[in-house]
Amino acid sequence: MSKTPQKIDIVLVFHGIGTPPADCLEADLPYWVQEEKFLRTLDIAKERGDTLITFDDGLQSDVRIAMPALIERGLPGVFFPLTGMLGKPGYLTREELKSLADHGMVVGTHGHMHLDWAKVPRELREKDIQDSLEIIEEILGTPCKEAAFPFGSFDRRVLASLKKFGIEKAYSCSRGKTNLANFLIHRTSIREVTDLDWMFQSLDKEKGIQKIKRGVKRFLRAHLPPF
């Protein structure tokens, strides 16, 4: 059962926070966000009350920086570790993963080996999902019901595989406003270059447009005869 509040309609995703390790892949560098920017995002999220923060890959900054900052602000967090990386340098240990859950954070899966689930054969995808779920459930002692697609990549076959293993919420990286009551949840990825004010403004604009559309629909339903 998710512990996240229901009025949330913006979900953000972070990866590493702080200084990237010396051997960080060049492709991953833009996703490392400085601690100051991360903390500012949390302060905005706390003030807005409509924003959920999530974390992919299971990096050590999850437990060293993110968890204490979330607890300090009374904010929930959802963490998606790669189970194949647990205990490797720079990644969470099994004990640290357990500690996230013990502190009230939600733990989902991001797979075992960071495979692109939409690009590998079904057997490989489902083995990756199953392996990761077994490890998380063994560590936490509770069922894992949430997943974030590696690389944000998915199609209907990926969704079917996740449902088969009892996943109730699947998080993409397709930005925009979202609804936590849905199976598929959109997330907006935060990078070091992200302009936070601009990002929240554009998400608010999107919310405003959707509100107008809903209003127009309601008006038409009330005023037009059914065809």
List contacts with Zn ion (CB under 5 A).
Answer: 56-57, 150
Whichever of 9 and 128 has its CB closer to Zn ion, that residue is 128
Whichever of 77 and 150 has its CB closer to Zn ion, that residue is 150
Q: What's the min distance (Å) between Cβ of 51 and Zn ion?
A: 20
Q: What's the min distance (Å) between Cβ of 72 and Zn ion?
A: 26
Q: What's the min distance (Å) between Cβ of 77 and Zn ion?
A: 16
Q: 44 and 59 in contact (C-beta within 8 Å)?
A: no
What are the strands, taking DSSP E only, across 67-224? 77-81, 106-107, 146-148, 169-171, 184-185, 188-189
Count of CB atoms situated within 10 Å of the CB of 110: 23
Whichever of 132 and 200 has its CB closer to Zn ion, that residue is 132
Q: What's the min distance (Å) between Cβ of 151 and Zn ion?
A: 6
State the Cα–Cα distance between residues 98 and 157, nearest whole angstrom.
Answer: 30
State the Cα–Cα distance between residues 20 and 28, nearest whole angstrom.
Answer: 9
Whichever of 52 and 81 has its CB closer to Zn ion, that residue is 81
Q: What's the min distance (Å) between Cβ of 186 and Zn ion?
A: 16
Q: Which residues pair with 184 in a beta bridge?
A: 170
Is residue 221 classed exposed, middle or buried when 0-12, 13-18 and 19+ CB atoms within 10 A define those classes?
exposed
Whichever of 117 and 200 has its CB closer to Zn ion, that residue is 117
